[in-house]
Amino acid sequence: MNTQTFHRRLCQVSVFSALGAGLLAFAPALSAGPRQSGGPQTAGADAPTFSKDIAPIFQKKCQVCHQPGSIAPMSLLTYADARPWARSVKDRVVSRKMPPWPIDKTVGIQEFTNDLSLSDHDVDTIARWVDAGAPQGNPADMPPPVKWPDFINSWRYQDRFGRPPDLIVESPAYNVVANGMDQFPPMQTKVKGLTSERWIRAIEIKPANPESRYVFHHANPSLKQDGKSSPLIASAVGTEGQIFPDDAGKLIKPDSTVNFGMHFWPIAKDVKAVMVVGLWFYPEGQRPQFETQGQVQFRADMSTGAATPSKHSREIARRGDLLIPPNGTAMYQGTYVLDRPARIHDLRGHMHVRGKYQIVEAIYPDGRREIINKLNWDHGWHTTFVYEPNVRPLLPKGTVLITTSMFDNTPHKGNPDPDQWVVAGSRTVDEMSHIWIGMTFFEKEEDFKKLVAERERLHKSEPKVTSPASPASRH
């Protein structure tokens, strides 16, 4: 696929949200510690208690969302907060619906920097705690409460970088009228205050004030420069950022424009909504080793399949050809041949209510075929899965990426009408089959070879650093 093909894809309007990339940026550095070694435990004196066993798990894996002012309906900060929810907590945790981490754990890479999921041991501890009557235990065993940042007034990456953003871009105000309709206003701001080109290290977007927060649904800010548009990040309520790999960045030029890509959801009264994007840069004059494309759009319903797009590529391209029969299922696949070596740093799916799962697979130039990940689609969550640095897939030139989307239009919870034919479209009742892949392309083969060699050295010295399923481990 050539650059132009990518730009064409990048230009497409996107209405997506992401979850995940930002969450762990401010997760507390806690060690829940191995409290019990998993030996048989029965209810009674040995039963897990909230203070000693459960609070540390909640702090690490739940409270970011389950606290006043965050996105979940109830708080899990204290015993008094959590106790009434004990039964529901067990249900959600045992069924793996909470914490939200919709990925197939039996196949593909499993090392993520923002992994929200619970270990089997934690699930078991929570289940045993509830079965024992959800005892509080000794309050003296409680871990100190986590100091959560003020989600509205502070920037999440501020601690991480030791400073507020280097550049803040504020949107024009938009009046979100109280008419009950989704609103997608075209909000744009010309970037001011940049005197030279800079390389972006991290990006965060958030509502500028509490009022704006009430109507914020999600945002897909993009950057317009040199006549082209490319995505910055995608965000949804609760998560608002992206930190690029530390050897990669995205270039921003003084004459660029930020398009906020907003989706607002009105409340009972009109709200003047304002959004802000914060950018952290690499030091002035420092160019990161690689330029990342950020999240590139791949689709299962649109594909040229062409290694070297010819003037006819556009004509043969499939585009939006989804057709899902009533009370039936359908699977679509897209193929993309990489015309340059590439590295993947994150992955995010997107479907609507008939979406069941999406798979990203690679066929390497030597013929090996491997599943990189299988995302279990859950329309409630738009998670970005961010790979640990040592397992980021490294894909040689000529690799075929296959994206698969499976749709289920049989009667199920969440399907508004199984008797409909469903086609591609942006309304929730239509379907989509996008997969956003965080990519860095290498213009120089030597750069890629160097990364592959480093990876090989690493795996020789620390053989357990990736799962055997990781394609990264095989290069």
Helix (H) or strand (E) holding 86: helix 86-94
Asked whether 152 and 209 are in contact (CB, 8 A), the reply is yes
Residues 349-388 that bind ligand HEC (CB under 6 A): 380
User: Across 271-354, where does the E strand assignment appear?
Assistant: 271-273, 275-281, 290-299, 302-303, 318-319, 323-324, 329-337, 342-350
Residues 223-282 that bind ligand HEC (CB under 6 A): 238
Nearer to ligand HEC, 116 or 469 (CB): 116
Residues 65-84 that bind ligand HEC (CB under 6 A): 65-66, 71-73
- When binding is defined by CB under 6 A, the residue of 99, 108, 135, 207 that contacts ligand HEC is 99
Beta strand pairing call for 188-190 and 271-273: unpaired
62 sits near ligand HEC (criterion: CB under 6 A):
yes
The SS3 call for residue 122 is helix
User: How many binding residues for ligand HEC (CB under 6 A)?
Assistant: 20
Cα–Cα distance for residue pair 173/188, rounded to 1 Å: 10
- When binding is defined by CB under 6 A, the residue of 85, 244, 260, 387 that contacts ligand HEC is 85
Nearer to ligand HEC, 238 or 398 (CB): 238
| Residue 403, beta-bridge partner list | 334, 360
Nearer to ligand HEC, 238 or 389 (CB): 238
- When binding is defined by CB under 6 A, the residue of 6, 47, 61, 330 that contacts ligand HEC is 61
Task: Report in angstroms how near the CB of residue 87 gets to ligand HEC at its nearest.
Answer: 8
98 sits near ligand HEC (criterion: CB under 6 A):
yes
Cα–Cα distance for residue pair 77/81, rounded to 1 Å: 6
Helix (H) or strand (E) holding 59: helix 55-61
92 sits near ligand HEC (criterion: CB under 6 A):
yes
Q: Which stretch binds ligand HEC (CB under 6 A): 61-69, 181-189, 213-221, 286-294?
A: 61-69
Nearer to ligand HEC, 60 or 340 (CB): 60
396 sits near ligand HEC (criterion: CB under 6 A):
no
Cα–Cα distance for residue pair 28/276, rounded to 1 Å: 25
Nearer to ligand HEC, 147 or 460 (CB): 147
Task: Report in angstroms how near the CB of residue 138 gets to ligand HEC at its nearest.
Answer: 21
Q: Which stretch binds ligand HEC (CB under 6 A): 86-94, 216-224, 292-300, 352-360?
A: 86-94
Residues 118-147 that bind ligand HEC (CB under 6 A): 118
Cα–Cα distance for residue pair 387/393, rounded to 1 Å: 9
Task: Report in angstroms how near the CB of residue 237 gets to ligand HEC at its nearest.
Answer: 8
CB atoms inside a 10 Å sphere around CB 414: 12
Task: Report in angstroms how near the CB of residue 254 gets to ligand HEC at its nearest.
Answer: 37
Please give the C-alpha separations between residue 328 and each of 123, 331, 408, 420, in angstroms, as whole numbers: 35, 11, 6, 10
In 3D, which of 220, 290, 297 has the Cα closest to residue 251?
A: 290
Task: Report in angstroms how near the CB of residue 434 gets to ligand HEC at its nearest.
Answer: 21
Asked whether 409 and 322 are in contact (CB, 8 A), the reply is no
Task: Report in angstroms how near the CB of residue 251 gets to ligand HEC at its nearest.
Answer: 31
Task: Report in angstroms how near the CB of residue 192 gets to ligand HEC at its nearest.
Answer: 34
Nearer to ligand HEC, 100 or 135 (CB): 100
Asked whether 243 and 201 are in contact (CB, 8 A), the reply is yes
The SS3 call for residue 471 is helix
Asked whether 126 and 89 are in contact (CB, 8 A), the reply is yes
Question: Would you give the distance in Å from CA 467 to the centre of its chain?
Answer: 21
172 sits near ligand HEC (criterion: CB under 6 A):
no
User: Which stretches within 179-295 are classed as H helix?
Assistant: 210-215
326 sits near ligand HEC (criterion: CB under 6 A):
no
402 sits near ligand HEC (criterion: CB under 6 A):
no
DSSP-derived secondary structure for 420-439: S-EEB-SSTTSB--EEEEEE
Q: Which residues bind ligand HEC (CB under 6 A)?
A: 61-62, 64-66, 71-73, 85, 88-89, 92-93, 98-100, 116, 118, 238, 380
